[in-house]
């Protein structure tokens, strides 16, 4: 029974995040109460973590919860994430390294992955560093320059 309640609550949270702009756990708690579901802030926090929810900056400047399977907005979302979080972009061979402040790598890597860049295979993110692997025959500096053009601030270093 407890598992069913948890599943129902998490499904409700996911629906809320997909259908509305949700900026805080307090908002989630209020919306759940409206649906007859009660949850503490700690429970909501765990649910968000289990759902893989993250906060992303919206076009109007607010920060709202998103879900990993949710389209992140393509290159516009990627541009916003890079402008906000990247501190350095470097290239070597067919690799690109993007440096971010602590905690910034995962959401930026997600934005890179969901932007569908044709020249990349995928990303690997730590806490403050992202490794981008480029497709065979694509130079890392090509992808690095493309990312820099999105931000409007050239900063590529070749290693």
pLDDT of residue 139 exceeding 70, the answer is: yes
The CA distance from 40 to 42, in Å, is 5
pLDDT of residue 123 exceeding 70, the answer is: yes
- pLDDT score of 50: 83
- pLDDT score of 9: 92
Residue 13 token pair: 């949270």
Q: What are the structural domain ranges in the chain?
A: 2-66, 74-158
Contact 5, 35 (CB under 8 A): no
Per cent of the chain over pLDDT 90 is: 43
pLDDT of residue 136 exceeding 50, the answer is: yes
pLDDT confidence bin for 7, thresholds 50/70/90: confident
CATH number of 74-158: 3.30.1360.40
What's the distance, Cα to Cα, between the start and end of the chain in Å? 56
The DSSP secondary structure of 40-104, one letter per residue, reads: -HHHHHHHHHHHT-EEEE-TTS-EEEE-TTS---HHHHHHHHHHHH--EEEEETTEEEEE-STT-
pLDDT confidence bin for 130, thresholds 50/70/90: very high
Contact 102, 128 (CB under 8 A): yes
The CATH fold assigned to 2-66 is Arc Repressor Mutant, subunit A (1.10.10)
The tens digit of pLDDT for each residue in 9-27 reads 998 998 898 888 999 999 9
**pTM score of the predicted model:** 0.55
């Amino acid at each position: 029974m407890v598992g069913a309640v948890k599943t129902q609550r998490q499904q409700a949270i996911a629906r809320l995040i997909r259908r509305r702009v949700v900026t805080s756990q307090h908002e989630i708690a209020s919306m759940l109460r409206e649906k007859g579901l009660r949850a503490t802030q700690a429970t909501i926090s765990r649910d968000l973590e289990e759902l893989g929810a993250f906060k992303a900056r919206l076009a109007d400047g607010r920060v709202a919860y998103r879900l990993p399977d949710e389209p992140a907005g393509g290159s516009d979302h990627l541009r916003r994430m890079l402008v906000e979080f990247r501190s350095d972009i470097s290239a070597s061979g067919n690799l690109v390294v993007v440096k971010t402040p602590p905690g910034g790598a995962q959401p930026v890597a997600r934005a890179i992955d969901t932007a569908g860049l044709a020249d990349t295979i995928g990303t690997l993110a730590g806490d403050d560093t992202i490794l981008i692997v480029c497709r065979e025959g694509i130079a890392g500096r090509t992808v690095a320059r493309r990312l820099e053009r999105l931000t409007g601030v050239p900063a590529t270093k070749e290693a």
